[in-house]
């Protein structure tokens, strides 16, 4: 097991350190694992003058899986794209072919009071948003900015998908739904955008190969509304890059905090990059305030998806729930009657819960 550890910027190093601590605890001394640290984002610029140094790319290619923290800092948008710390992650996804982004949204019963929605709306929530990750407007060409013939500043990006790209993510989505509750909702904007008309057509055609999976379609604006109105109607949602980015962050608030949600970005095989959904949160970086549970749960996904260690992944998830049941909370999920803890103490509590469960 060779794992590249890319802590990145902001709160990334703090939460990743706790995920590594839990990883070592759940694997124990007998499991052979090699952890290779590599700089990315601003750390990459500081060490090698590039947010995605060549050495980091090489480490990523050789690794079986990548545990990622966060990348990007305020002011990124004023820097040329290739040199933005935050763009390092997009470049890495493209280089490694990480096209399928799994973003689960589930609610621990202990956190039902942390959601801003009524308990009856979110109780029992368990859905998966599958986001296509290497196409769409984030990568489409042409892109750029300049001055038009009237002397006005303008900028442009291109939403683009090919048929094989849509087929590929559609097959992953149907297989994912088949392993869950056999319901798939494809989200697009086919009433306005030609690229989304192709998306709907291809997803529908692929769906004929999965007659045991119920396929529905929603426009993205209706999907956003339904996520807030009745989120438990969804099992698996599949959508493009930009819509998936927005919807998955919205779904995070159903669970009480974006600091609770893990994600996995998978290539065609078992190789994946695992990261918490939250960003760098520079306002709390270095203050021992960040919630490490999303990073710890991302590491559990790493064990399950890249190495087939479902039992160890479940142990980590049970330990997280045990800690929440004890009433420990970081500031983002704090509720009256609970005990507020910092990043390090939350990580230590998960390790302690693992050890108690192991006897």
Give the pLDDT confidence score for residue 82 in this predicted structure.
Answer: 80
Work out the average pLDDT over 252-272: 88
Given a cut of 90, whether residue 197 has pLDDT beyond it is yes
Given a cut of 90, whether residue 142 has pLDDT beyond it is yes
Identify the residue whose tokens are 């800690």.
323
The residues annotated as belonging to the active site are 138, 189, 221, 245, 249
pLDDT digits (tens, 9 = 90+) for 5-57: 999 999 999 999 999 999 999 998 877 899 999 999 999 999 999 999 999 99
User: What is the average pLDDT score of the chain?
Assistant: 94
Confidence of residue 230 (pLDDT cuts 50, 70, 90): very high
Given a cut of 90, whether residue 75 has pLDDT beyond it is no
Give the pLDDT confidence score for residue 171 in this predicted structure.
Answer: 98
CB atoms within 10 A of CB 335: 14
Distance CA(320)–CA(259), nearest Å, equals 13
Residues 6+ apart with CB under 8 A from 108: 255, 260, 320, 321, 324
Give the pLDDT confidence score for residue 178 in this predicted structure.
Answer: 97
Listed as own residue / partner, the contacts of 331-338 with beta carbons closer than 8 Å and 24 or more positions apart are 331/289, 331/291, 332/257, 332/258, 332/259, 332/291, 333/111, 333/114, 333/256, 333/257, 333/259, 333/260, 333/291, 335/113, 335/114
pTM comes to 0.91
């Amino acid at each position: 097991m060779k794992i590249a550890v890319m802590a990145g910027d902001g709160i990334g190093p703090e939460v990743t350190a706790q995920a590594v601590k839990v990883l070592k605890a759940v694997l124990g001394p007998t499991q052979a694992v090699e952890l290779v640290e590599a700089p990315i984002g601003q750390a990459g610029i500081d060490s090698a003058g590039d947010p995605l140094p060549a050495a980091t790319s090489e480490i990523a290619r050789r690794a079986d899986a990548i545990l990622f923290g966060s990348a990007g800092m305020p002011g990124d948008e004023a820097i040329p794209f290739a040199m933005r710390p935050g763009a390092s992650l997009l470049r890495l996804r493209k280089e490694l072919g990480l096209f399928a982004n799994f973003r689960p949204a589930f609610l621990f019963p202990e956190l039902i009071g942390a959601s801003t929605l009524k308990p009856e709306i979110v109780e029992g929530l368990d859905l998966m948003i599958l986001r296509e990750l290497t196409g769409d407007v984030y990568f489409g060409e042409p892109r750029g900015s300049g001055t038009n013939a009237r002397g006005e500043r303008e900028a442009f990006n291109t939403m683009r998908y090919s048929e094989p790209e849509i087929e590929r993510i559609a097959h992953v989505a149907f297989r994912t739904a088949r392993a869950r509750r056999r319901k798939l909702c494809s989200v697009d904007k086919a009433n306005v955008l030609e690229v989304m008309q192709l998306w709907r057509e291809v997803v529908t055609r692929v769906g004929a190969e999965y007659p045991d999976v119920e396929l529905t379609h929603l426009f993205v604006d209706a999907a956003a509304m339904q996520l807030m109105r009745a989120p438990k109607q969804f099992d698996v949602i599949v959508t493009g890059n930009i819509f998936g980015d927005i919807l998955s962050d919205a779904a995070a608030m159903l669970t009480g905090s974006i600091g609770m949600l893990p994600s996995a970005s998978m290539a065609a095989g078992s190789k994946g990059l695992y990261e918490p959904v939250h960003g760098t949160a520079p306002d709390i970086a270095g203050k021992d305030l960040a919630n490490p549970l999303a990073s710890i749960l991302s590491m559990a996904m790493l064990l399950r998806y890249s190495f087939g260690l479902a039992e160890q992944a479940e142990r980590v998830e049970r330990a997280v729930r045990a800690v929440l049941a004890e009433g420990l909370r970081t500031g983002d999920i704090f509720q009256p009657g609970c005990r507020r803890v910092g990043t390090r103490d939350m990580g230590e509590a998960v390790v302690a819960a693992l050890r108690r469960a192991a006897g």
